[in-house]
Chain A
Amino acid sequence: MSILTTLQLLPLLGAIVIASMPAGNAKQIKQTALGFSLIVTAISLFMAVNFDTSDSALQFTEVRSWISAFNINYAVGIDGMALALILMTTILVPIVFLAGWNESESGRWSVKVFYILLLILETMMIGVFAATDVFLFYVIFEAMLLPVYFLIGGYGVGDRAAAAMKFLLYSLFGGLLMLAAVIGIYIISTNQGGGTFDIAKLSELTIDTDTQNWLFLGFFIAFAIKAPLWPFHTWLPTAAKSATAGTSTLLLGVLDKVGTYGMIRFCMSFFPDATKTFTPAIITLAVISILYGAFLAIGQKDINSLIAFTSISHFGFITLGIFALTSQGLTGAIFYMVNHGFSTAALFLTAGWMIKRRGSSQIADFGGLQRVTPILAWSFFLAGMSALALPGLSSFVSEFLVLLGSFGKYPAAAILGTTGIILAALYVLIAVQKSLHGETPATSAGITDLSLREKLAIAPVIAVLVVLGFYPKPVLNVINPTTQTVMTHAGVTDPVAKVAK
């Protein structure tokens, strides 16, 4: 059994253990969930240590027949990109547990159900990045919507039912389009000697241009809804506004990455020609996303919607990096996916604490937190700085790489994207100023600073942001082989700068 299978089974085991525990003992349930997620983190770190960065092939693979009639396998294996995203997931989950220790108690259902759903979600989040069988990927891609649906609808705030419904409908619609494309590529492989869902084998198919374009769109729209890219984004702000801080962290930090991950893993490797055909259109959408997200973020009055719109802007950057089709852009985009996960986690978690203490999510209701709760304020400040990609924090490295990588081929897009950075400074600094500085309103006077539990939760996130900001090499080393493989397969090369003679 591959270590990847162990990683997937452990949270599921945790869910089963919790299901068998009495519902009344909330504390014990939380501790068990945290314990299981920490073991998963430890094992994933162990796996990372044993990962061979010099080998560009899939590692820790395991293949078992699942549905023999269609040659569907339970097939897992990871390359650098998948490893980075799985590590991000397994580190974020215990942090979310720790940070949102009490957020499960105001829900429609018991604490027990909350942790069962989260642990099942962790199993699926690991599985979706580990899957090397398209069918397996698709099944997890769709099935993981349900825990999130119940987490938003059952434990969120405000008009949570509607937000959950909107989220699910959008995602399922994309998923169904992708299903048609999955079936299409499977039938093509059947016609070319043996139906298969193996990603590596499917990448070798020769597909005519028209079919490529249609299948590409099937996959791409599903991923663009997931990521989310303008104009497929409208579900995100409502979902983020209604979900708990922990759910939002996992939704934007991890689940949405499946979209950008899928663009690289499936769209680019299955349909290299279609990728090139659609690149100009997608780059345009990416730039629109960057600017649109940033502009709308400036205007938001609700902290959670603000974070959601910043994410739309950031997903624009990631997509821009991916479809720039240069090694710097791609490496930057993958690295951005990891950084965005931690940066969003920092934002949502600190914002969640602020909202919980103040009882309101309106930015205008805060002010002067710097004086009352310095540690919380500094954490939020740092999270904000990472969102605007301040040099010295990891998101700067990735944003820089993305812009550098896209400038060579798409200078206009890169320049427009750069204005996104300026807008980012605007929306972050306005929010920071309004909430942390200025007068402390009387209503905020009595609120307490971070507890030890909350400090323990935020510390690793900030540590990651800072350490990777100064020393991104370990992660880049892991990512680079993937970038090279994807580039070679897609048949694109980096532009060479023209030298004056």
Chain B
Amino acid sequence: MLTAPKLDYSLLAPILIILGAAILGVLVEAFIKQAWRARIQLVIALGGIVIAFEQLYRVRDKGSSIAAVTSVSIDGAGIFMQGAILIFAFLGILIIADQDNFVAQASALPGSTEEAVALQTGKQQTEVFPLTLFAVSGMMLFPIATDFITLFVALEVLSLPLYLMAGLSRRRRLLSQEAALKYFLLGAYSSAFFLFGAALLYGYSGSLSLNGLTDAIHGAGGNDVFLLLGIVFLSVGLLFKVGAVPFHSWTPDVYQGAPTPITGFMAAATKAAAFGATIRIFYIGLDAAQLSWKPIISTIAVVTMIFGAIVAISQRDMKRILAFSSIAHAGFILTAVVSLNKNALSASLFYLLAYGVATIGAFGIVTLVRDSAGEVSDVNRWVGLGKKSPLVATVFSLFLLSFAGIPLTSGFVGKFAIFSAAYESGNIYLVVAGVLSSAVAVFFYLRIILMLFFADATNDSVSVVIPSILTRVSISISAVITILLGVAPSLLLNIAQNYSYFLR
């Protein structure tokens, strides 16, 4: 007889609430009058996130509990990652709520009369809210899943909505749809790799759970070829999601093509979720086999850091620059993955939150810089923005300084924490590579600041639209967090340290 598995609903509540809100959103889209939809969707989305966060806060001390047999366990790092993703979702939704960035009717062909009519008659669809929530639920599950099936399901749940969302841009729709298709195809490949790797590891260990894998490695009974191949395939799937070289090529295109609010949300939250899972898999499942994967991942970390920083220099599009910057940051976090110690874990938790918040803020500002035809992401047309809108330029510079890791911003503390953990684990060459690539990266961040402030505005340059209240709130929160975590990082570092443990 098949007995129903025991589920601890109170621990799963945050995810279930987000899923519930998403389904509610679908119903709203179907049954509520057009005029009210946007507002109701926003309330449901934000409300769902807040309640989920409250539920998460309630279980904050119940780390080290198994939520669903061998499939989901709630532990410190998992709770922290879920909290971070909810924060990103909150900040992201506030910017997404500015409907001006999204196509009125996604199913209409680009350039068709149908599309124009939908826009003119104000038939703005709001499916982006439930899609975001579905993605968030997957993202929350990904870092706490402890068996390969659940990991795969979470990966798909978080990815599929994102593929759609990438194609929703109102302007430059062809570029947006190209990005969506590219993201989907490459994403599908990477999922296949992940699944293939999981199958090989199952063949090796006879178990789907991460703990079972560790036991099998300790027991050294299986066929090592399966183990090695499994690790390689699994890593390809994960490294694709985090955007590490050589699996990064989708990042700049998708970041550029997707609607900017989505890009910001995706850059922050996907990265957090994917790294959450990556760190768990490598720390729990593959820790025992570290000799076989550490050299590869270390090399990838070094290449990713340096490649991201160098290629960013030649970019002329703000969104692509931020994309390559995110690749470089993925390299930094990968150094924490190979460091395999508690300090590295807490450092990456801190880093992911700090980086994600600054990323959402930075993309939020990109949505504001426009000309008559819409958003302008060509860097050369940002010149002299500091003269026209000193505040916006200053806040944007703050985010860039944080990415560059200048002291008194959150990025510096994160970088310091990660590098010191890497040094502690003996990977001094990673520290040196990180420092050198930071030096390169500083160049292109500073060049943007130079353009904003020290160059005279040309006729061709752009203006800043007055942001909606919600966008303003989101960017302000991001800016405050970025400074606060730079000046008083203990606020978050201590939390990150308390939560930096895994349940084995």
Please give the residue numbers on chain A whose beta carbons come within 8 Å of chain B beta carbons, in ascending order.
65-70, 108, 138-140, 142-143, 146, 150, 153-154, 160-161, 164-165, 168-169, 172-173, 176-177, 179-180, 183-184, 186-187, 190
Residues A173 and B423 in contact, CB atoms below 8 Å apart: no
B444 to chain A, nearest CB (A): 11
Partner of B439, one of A66, A138, A154, A176: A176
Which residues of A sit under 8 angstroms from B420, Cβ to Cβ? 70, 183, 186-187
CA A180 to CA B437, docked complex, whole Å: 12
Per-position binary interface string of chain B over residues 245-265, scored 1 when its CB falls under 8 Å from any chain A CB and 0 otherwise: 000000000000000000000
Residues A69 and B494 in contact, CB atoms below 8 Å apart: yes
CA A479 to CA B432, docked complex, whole Å: 37
Closest to B426 in A: A187
Residues A190 and B494 in contact, CB atoms below 8 Å apart: no
Which residues of B sit under 8 angstroms from A184, Cβ to Cβ? 423, 428, 431
Across the A-B interface, how many residue pairs have beta carbons closer than 8 Å? Answer: 88
Closest to A218 in B: B435
CA A164 to CA B408, docked complex, whole Å: 20
B450 within 8 A of A: yes
Which residues of A sit under 8 angstroms from B406, Cβ to Cβ? 142-143, 146, 172
Residues B442 and A169 in contact, CB atoms below 8 Å apart: yes
Partner of B407, one of A139, A150, A154, A186: A139
Residues A150 and B453 in contact, CB atoms below 8 Å apart: yes
A106 to chain B, nearest CB (A): 15
Residues A180 and B443 in contact, CB atoms below 8 Å apart: no
A385 to chain B, nearest CB (A): 38
Per-position binary interface string of chain B over residues 118-160, scored 1 when its CB falls under 8 Å from any chain A CB and 0 otherwise: 0000000000000000000000000000000000000000000
Residues A143 and B407 in contact, CB atoms below 8 Å apart: yes
Residues B407 and A108 in contact, CB atoms below 8 Å apart: no
Which residues of B sit under 8 angstroms from A138, Cβ to Cβ? 407
Closest to A188 in B: B423
CA A139 to CA B412, docked complex, whole Å: 9
B438 within 8 A of A: yes
Give me 9 other A-B pairs in contact (C-beta within 8 A), A69-B346, A172-B442, A173-B442 excluded. Answer: A69-B493, A69-B497, A161-B450, A161-B454, A169-B443, A173-B439, A176-B438, A180-B435, A187-B423
A242 to chain B, nearest CB (A): 11
B387 to chain A, nearest CB (A): 8
Query: Given A66-B490, A142-B406, A173-B439 in contact, is the A179-B453 Cβ separation under 8 Å?
Result: no
Please give the residue numbers on chain B whose beta carbons come within 8 Å of chain A beta carbons, in ascending order.
346, 387, 401, 406-408, 412-413, 416-417, 419-420, 423-424, 428, 431-432, 435-436, 438-439, 442-443, 446-447, 450, 453-455, 488-490, 493-494, 497
Which residues of B sit under 8 angstroms from A176, Cβ to Cβ? 435-436, 438-439, 442
Please classify the interface of chain B as helix (H, G, I), strand (E, B), loop, or mixed, using the class held by over half of its residues.
Answer: helix
Which residues of B sit under 8 angstroms from A169, Cβ to Cβ? 442-443, 446
Residues B450 and A179 in contact, CB atoms below 8 Å apart: no
Residues B435 and A67 in contact, CB atoms below 8 Å apart: no
B447 to chain A, nearest CB (A): 7
B402 to chain A, nearest CB (A): 13
CA A330 to CA B428, docked complex, whole Å: 34
Which residues of B sit under 8 angstroms from A143, Cβ to Cβ? 406-408
Partner of B490, one of A68, A154, A179, A186: A68
Residues A67 and B493 in contact, CB atoms below 8 Å apart: yes
CA A160 to CA B431, docked complex, whole Å: 33
A405 to chain B, nearest CB (A): 35
Which residues of A sit under 8 angstroms from B446, Cβ to Cβ? 165, 168-169, 172
Residues A160 and B454 in contact, CB atoms below 8 Å apart: yes
Query: Residue among B416, B424, B489 with the most chain A CB within 10 A?
Result: B416
Residues A180 and B419 in contact, CB atoms below 8 Å apart: yes
Which residues of A sit under 8 angstroms from B428, Cβ to Cβ? 184
Which residues of B sit under 8 angstroms from A168, Cβ to Cβ? 446
CA A168 to CA B447, docked complex, whole Å: 11
Which residues of B sit under 8 angstroms from A186, Cβ to Cβ? 420
Closest to A165 in B: B450
Residues A153 and B454 in contact, CB atoms below 8 Å apart: yes
Residues A164 and B454 in contact, CB atoms below 8 Å apart: yes
Closest to A68 in B: B490
Closest to B442 in A: A172
Residues A153 and B432 in contact, CB atoms below 8 Å apart: no
A403 to chain B, nearest CB (A): 37
Query: Given A169-B443, A176-B439 in contact, is the A67-B454 Cβ separation under 8 Å?
Result: no
Query: Residue among A142, A161, A168, A180 with the most chain B CB within 10 A?
Result: A180
CA A190 to CA B420, docked complex, whole Å: 11
CA A3 to CA B401, docked complex, whole Å: 32
Query: Given A142-B406, A176-B435, A176-B439 in contact, is the A153-B450 Cβ separation under 8 Å?
Result: yes
Residues A154 and B431 in contact, CB atoms below 8 Å apart: no
Which residues of A sit under 8 angstroms from B497, Cβ to Cβ? 69
Residues B439 and A161 in contact, CB atoms below 8 Å apart: no
A334 to chain B, nearest CB (A): 27
Closest to A146 in B: B406
Which residues of B sit under 8 angstroms from A165, Cβ to Cβ? 446-447, 450
Residues A183 and B423 in contact, CB atoms below 8 Å apart: yes
Partner of B419, one of A139, A146, A183: A183
B407 to chain A, nearest CB (A): 4
Residues B494 and A68 in contact, CB atoms below 8 Å apart: yes
B374 to chain A, nearest CB (A): 29
B30 to chain A, nearest CB (A): 49
A190 to chain B, nearest CB (A): 7
Closest to B413 in A: A67
Query: Residue among A68, A161, A183 with the most chain B CB within 10 A?
Result: A183
Closest to B409 in A: A143
Which residues of A sit under 8 angstroms from B346, Cβ to Cβ? 69
Residues A180 and B490 in contact, CB atoms below 8 Å apart: no
Residues A190 and B424 in contact, CB atoms below 8 Å apart: yes
